[in-house]
Amino acid sequence: MKKIPPIFFAITLLLLFAVAFAALPAAVSAKNPAFPDIIPLPDGFQPEGVVVGHGGTIYAGSLADGSIYRADLRTGAGDVFIEGEDGLIAVGLSHDNRSNNLFVAGGPGGDARVYDAGSGELLMSYQLAAPPTTFINDAIVTREAVYFTDSFYPRFFRLPLNANGRLPAASDVQEIPLSGDFDFIAGGFNGNGIEASADGDYLIIVNSTTGTLYRVDPLTGVALAIDLGGELVTSGDGLVRQGNTLFVVRNFLNQIAVVELGDDFTSGELVDTITDDAFRIPTTADRFGNALYAVNARFGTPSPAEAEYEIVRVKR
């Protein structure tokens, strides 16, 4: 009988290990798919705002008590990161990559809160406006400031930030009136979602009632209606910008409008509409990789304190 050289045994073992390891990711993936399409939130959570922070971590805020839920986009696993309190509300969220600060719009309370997105510590609370004639709705961080919209009044608020994202004193809050083309509808839900150009020279604000997008000077508040060729984005809520592409979440329509903006943001074209069977009145969204993550607010659902809520992943 011929003796088989030891080298053949080594090669055979290597091949067996290679086959085993090649099969392992497929088995794991089938059981726990990476980047799930649905990220469940706690029953009764009543979310509205959502933002992606460091390392594929997503945060959602609660209209019920201001609590913040944190989840891993890769696995969908998460838990309540910041406990809520009676009387608190969390509406729009924004994240500063420099400082890892999480900014939270406080809705009818007229406030804005800032948390450490790593530890959950409350760093600052700002009283932007006096209730009840206010609804601090959404936020966006730029290099020089963080901005908050007010849906019940033709204005927005500016909190200046330094190069490292250091927070300002409470006395540094700036109220800036909206003027120019901005059409304020008394009794309506006006300025809502907000975005900014990459350099922070322009803000983009949507009026939910009129369906008009505006390019806004961040220092003067002068607004220029963005010409969409006659198209409107009524029920426009959260905004997400990537380059010259603007995604407009249209809550009650269960859609995300895709708008291609011109270089100076004075005009644009509605080029696509994203829909998904899992949309149940999405309000805000953020992007990660080649996907958008939209949170279902389910406005008008019976028994919201017991209802199911989720974040939905859709391809861009």
What 3 state SS string does 221-285 have? Answer: CEEEECECCCCCCCCEEEEEEECCEEEEEEHHHCEEEEEEECCCCCEEEEEEEECCCCCCCEEEE
Q: Whole-structure pTM over 0.85, yes or no?
A: yes
Enter the DSSP assignment of 47: E
Within 10 Å of residue 204's Cβ, how many Cβ atoms?
A: 23
Which pLDDT does position 181 carry in this prediction?
98
Would you say 142 and 200 are in contact if contact means Cβ atoms under 8 Å apart? yes
Query: How many alpha carbons lie under 13 Å from residue 37 in its C-beta half-sphere?
Result: 6
* Each residue's pLDDT tens digit, 76-122: 999 999 999 999 999 999 999 999 999 999 999 999 999 999 999 99
Q: Which of 252, 258, 266 is nearest to 201 (CA)?
A: 266
What is the pairing mode between strands 291-296 and 57-62?
A: unpaired
The pLDDT tens digits of the residues spanning 122-162 come to 999 999 999 999 999 999 999 999 999 999 999 999 999 99
The band of 206, judged by pLDDT with boundaries at 50, 70 and 90, is very high
Q: What is the dihedral of CA 217, 222, 226, 230, to 10 degrees?
A: 170
Going across the sheet that includes 291-296, the strands are: 38-41, 309-315, 291-296, 282-288
Q: Measured between alpha carbons, how far is 48 from 284 in angstroms, rounded to an integer?
A: 7
Side-chain half-sphere of 73: how many Cα atoms within 13 Å? 23
